[in-house]
Amino acid sequence: MNTKNNRVIFLSAILIFLTWVLTGFWTLFIIPQYRAKIEDVKKVDIKTQIAENKEKLNLSEFWKIYSIVKNNYYDADKITDLQSQEGIIRGFIKWLWDPHSEYFNTQENKEFDKYVNSWFEWIWAYIEENPLWIRISKVMKGSPAEKAWIITWDILVKSWDIELAWLEINEARNHIKWKSWSKAIFTIYRQGEEDFITKEVIRGLVTVPSVFSEKIDSLWYIWINKFADHTSEEFEKQLTKLEKEKIDWLIIDLRLNWWWYLFSAVQIASNFIKWDETIVTTKYKKFWQNEVYTSINGWIIFDKPVVILIDRNSASASEILALAMKDYKKAILVWEKSYGKWSVQAPIPLDNWDMLKLTIAKWFSPKDKNIDWEGIEPDIEIKFKKEDYKNLYDRQFEQAKEILNKYIENKNLEKTINHFNNLNNNQEKNGEDTNR
């Protein structure tokens, strides 16, 4: 009995000893390591961890989901493999969260090519999509739309008897453009009008110049409609006319201009900015591919007061020109903040005649600023009034003339900007209408 008790006591002592040793080991070694791991976990950037996990492409998960859909989706038989492939590609490109990167199937690629080309068989007006309507965002000079007195911000309700509001933008375009000399009848809603109005338009094959100019009072007005490969030549011809007329006033209109031809903007800016000064820098994913575009003129052709009109539809090449002029204090920017599109897309043809338009770089101003999704703030903001629609009154242009007058009088860009901003601020404080 005593032997048995002694054995129990001995085993209990060993158990207590081992427990004490293990507890000490845990306290001295395991707990510090555990705490260190907790601290490491706290330091982990969850977003970075998720991003790293996403880098590990697991296509088996995709094929699993694809198989489930194919075998269980009720209308799976209505979807071809080609449609599935296109949907997958579109989904991936959309996942980039970059609206400027797009996938075009073969038919869309052909339509895009026509859009980039200068020749169109339609009413020659740009349209923009909204969940509730199709709206005219720009009417070309000398176009069938202008001749029919269709104006900017008109809402196209119907083409003949087809309701446009419920259509996709490409389908709506197909009801607007057609063969040359064919007739189109549009039902239009115009702000300020009590009833819908009807316009009959004869479509035409039109080549629209990229630069339009005219002498107005004692100033020269140049409207840059688009930035194409020949735009800078057209612009320089207008500057030559201006010099011959010995006019010291110039308004450059970049409103509703979202064209993307970079070198054309650089060439036009070179007429105002001295040789070898940076106009824009293109930065790629790999820094050694970066490109710096400088002024290519050996002298300044035009060094007189300039006002530039920009709006929320001024983008891309328009913003390159406007911001370079602003950075070098060569012009006063007037009206409203620009769109903020400072990225570069490259068309990448695919083997099956499809096309991928992908963002491959971003632009930076002479002061190394990228305004992608930010836009350019105007030096002087001019507020549009509702009655201007009905009266067809171009308040921004009329105010630009006043600003030029003051610029000529002051002979100082900053002083002119401060004068009008102070004037607008005082009127707002007093509860008066601004920009009268």
% of the chain beyond a pLDDT of 70: 78
Domain at 119-207, CATH from 1.10.357.10, 2.30.42.10, 1.10.287.3240, 3.40.190.10:
2.30.42.10
Cross-strand bridge partners of residue 332: 307
d(CA 242, CA 405): 17
- Is it the case that residue 86 has pLDDT exceeding 50? yes
- Strand bridging mode 119-122 / 250-253: unpaired
Residue 398 binned pLDDT confidence (cut-offs 50, 70, 90): very high
Percent of the chain residues topping a pLDDT of 90 = 43
> Where are the CATH 2.30.42.10 domain residues in the chain?
119-207
Backbone angles phi, psi at 126, to 5 degrees: -80, 145
Between CA 295 and CA 279 the distance in angstroms is: 6
pLDDT of residue 382: 93
Q: Which residue has the tokens 């060569």?
A: 330
Work out the burial of residue 203: count CB atoms within 10 Å of its CB; fewer than 13 is exposed, 13-18 middle, 19 or more buried: buried
Q: Is the pLDDT of residue 43 over 80?
A: no
Q: What is the pTM of this model?
A: 0.70
CATH 3.90.226.10 residue ranges in the chain?
211-429
- pLDDT grade for 9, boundaries at 50, 70 and 90: low
Domain at 211-429, CATH class: alpha beta
Segment of 4-13, 17-26, 227-236 carrying the highest mean pLDDT: 227-236
CA distance 275 to 279: 10
Q: Above 50 in pLDDT, residue 418?
A: yes
Question: How does pLDDT run across 289-303, given as a tens digit for each residue?
Answer: 999 999 998 777 788
Question: 193 or 232: which carries more pLDDT confidence?
Answer: 232
Distance of alpha carbon 260 from alpha carbon 321, whole angstroms: 11
Q: CA-to-CA distance for 188 and 281, rounded, in angstroms? A: 43
315, 258 contact by CB (below 8 A): yes
Distance CA 19, CA 55 (A): 46
